[in-house]
Homo-oligomer: A and B are copies of this chain.
């Protein structure tokens, strides 16, 4: 079963990229994004990508790489406020954009991976998000129907993984990654650390290996968008 392990990001994407493909990539802002797989996707040259990413990265990094090269036809996102090239392309009409409330987006991806083609939510009722969507009343309250989301290839960033594809995520770098792992026709993962099968306590595996087809170990730069601190650590003994 070491058949799941690939040498690097370019190899892991081999045979899977094509024009018009749909791609999910994990991450919230620049936290927990599959940096190496995104760069390899850019290098693959695939065009007209439908990109299901919570955010648009920043200029020149993360998903910004794919925007610079204009490989993206349509974005499905909840917040894109951090990327100027995105703004330019969108205002110029070069890019389609579908906004989803963040929780609706997360749930749509989970639903897609779980064989649930539609579900009802009160998020967005009475807003533009509800336009054109079927509604239904439950207990006298109105809810809108949202659909499940899947994709051709899901790009996932995990903390640790093994040759079976079992994964663990770290802190808030988890975010969209576990759901996306379930929603890809093919799921490719990059991990900080590849560990021996059997290293994990089976109670604490976030993503069981069944969801993972290919895995690489790769070094991430892990840029921080907004370094925020409370000042220097007080000297021992001070209050």
Contact = CB atoms under 8 A, between A and B. Distances in A.
Interface stretch (A9-17, A115-123, A222-230): A115-123
B117 A203 contact: no
Interface string A67-88: 0000000000000000000000
B118 A168 contact: no
A169 interface: yes
How many copies of this chain does one complex carry?
Answer: 2
A39 B187 CA distance: 46
A233 B174 CA distance: 41
A117 B120 contact: yes
B168 A203 contact: yes
A190 interface: no
A169 B115 contact: no
A138 B171 CA distance: 36
A238 interface: no
Interface string A180-206: 000000000000000000000111100
Interface residues of A, number: 26
A136 interface: yes
B119 A116 contact: yes
A139 interface: yes
A147 interface: yes
A122 B115 contact: yes
A118 B143 contact: yes
A119, A121, A122, A169: most-surrounded residue (chain B CB, <10 A): A119
B119 A120 contact: yes
A111 interface: yes
Contacts of A107: 114, 116
A203 B115 contact: no
Nearest to A123: B115
Interface in A97-132: 107, 111, 114-122
10 contacts: A107-B114, A115-B121, A117-B143, A118-B119, A118-B138, A118-B143, A168-B203, A170-B203, A174-B203, A203-B204
Given A117-B141, A119-B120, 5 more contacts: A117-B139, A117-B143, A118-B119, A118-B138, A138-B147
